[in-house]
Amino acid sequence: MNNISVVTEFYFLDFPGPWDLKLLQVSFVILIYLSALMGNGLIITITSLDPSLHTPMYFFLKNLSLFDLFLISAVVPKTIVNFLTHCNSISFLGCSAQVFLVLFSGAAELFLLTAMSFDRYAAICHPLHYDVIMNRGMCVQMVVVSWFCGGFMSLIHTVNTFSLSYCRLNEIQQFFCDIPRLLAISCSEHVSAVIVPILINAVLDFCCFVCIITSYSYIFSTIRKIPSTQGQSKAYSTCLPHLTVVVLFVSTAFIAYIKPIFGSTSFIDLILSAFYILLPPSLNPIIYSLKNKAMKTGLEKWIVRKLWKKENILIVLKE
């Protein structure tokens, strides 16, 4: 039976509680998804169209928004469809695609957040050499590395996970396909071959987190030396949101993936999993970008430009 799957589909957990509570939960998920689509879509549009935002920081933000859209779109649409059709199943191929996209988005986003911390370090600690350090070639290389490493790591984990045998149990104790819950229902004798890469990946993620914290320790040390209070406030307003995103994303993802391997699944574990899928994509545009003055200015320019074009079209139609 090794490496032969006799399971053709998997089943997710249903939303807990009576119908009214389920409807409320799904409505909340839909609201979060729409806000994530709108917020990240605006960031991608504005940073692409406004020439004043063609800088390393906003180049990274645009790619972060792409990863956020991949992450939340890999899970939420299927969850909504399952609820509307009263069916909690997903095909074997669909489950593997979901695992790949979630892992790819999460890993690539963590590498990108590490690159963004280095960008902030260069901007604040070495402002005179910032343009030389964070030149266009360096920024493109960092983003390419994020995409490549995310894809490579997720491909390894996905292939390893779905090369296992799934014989009888096909109910995943989760709202989406993730590796810890798939390992729990596998009947393969080689589960350790998948757990070891997960632990190695966890170590790499921890190293990225240490790099981010180290960068910000130097950043905050430099900020404290700024003589003006206004300058310190501006620097903190740029860095603290990024650090908040990193801590939220890394902590919830780390606990959600590591804890089920060593213990039983609890309702808190499911909530943590939902946190790292839903919260970062929906909160990033709010706390990281749309509160930024340059982003607000770019949004206003874009809206005015759209309204101006629409007004000209109406004038032509009237004539």
CA-to-CA distance for 46 and 51, rounded, in angstroms? 9
Q: Domain for residue 93, yes or no?
A: yes
Q: End-to-end CA distance of the chain, in Å? A: 75
Q: Domain for residue 50, yes or no?
A: yes
Give, in order, the Cα–Cα distances in Å from 76 to each of 12, 17, 129, 153: 13, 19, 43, 23
What is the chain's Cα-based Rg? 22
- Nearest CA to 276 out of 35, 68, 115, 60 is that of 68
Helix (H, G, I), strand (E, B) or coil at 189: coil
pLDDT tens string for the chain (319 positions)? 444 446 778 888 877 777 788 888 888 889 999 999 998 998 898 888 888 888 898 899 899 999 999 999 999 999 888 888 888 889 989 999 999 999 999 899 999 999 999 998 998 888 889 999 999 999 999 999 999 999 998 998 898 888 888 877 788 878 888 887 888 788 777 666 667 777 777 788 888 888 998 998 898 888 888 777 777 777 777 777 777 778 777 777 776 666 555 555 556 666 777 777 888 888 888 876 655 676 667 667 766 666 665 555 545 445 5
pLDDT score, position 317 = 44
pLDDT score, position 115 = 93
- Nearest CA to 161 out of 192, 131, 203 is that of 192
pLDDT score, position 1 = 40
Q: Domain for residue 4, yes or no?
A: no
Report which residue type is found at 43.
I
Q: Output the domain CATH number for residue 166.
A: 1.20.1070.10
Query: Residues 231, 236, 239, CA angle at the centre, nearest 5°?
Result: 130
Query: Residues 132, 136, 139, CA angle at the centre, nearest 5°?
Result: 100
Q: Domain for residue 3, yes or no?
A: no
pLDDT score, position 305 = 67
pTM of the model: 0.84
pLDDT score, position 202 = 78
Structural domain for 108, as ranges: 9-318
Work out how many domains the chain is built from and give that number: 1
CA-to-CA distance for 201 and 205, rounded, in angstroms? 6
Q: Domain for residue 2, yes or no?
A: no
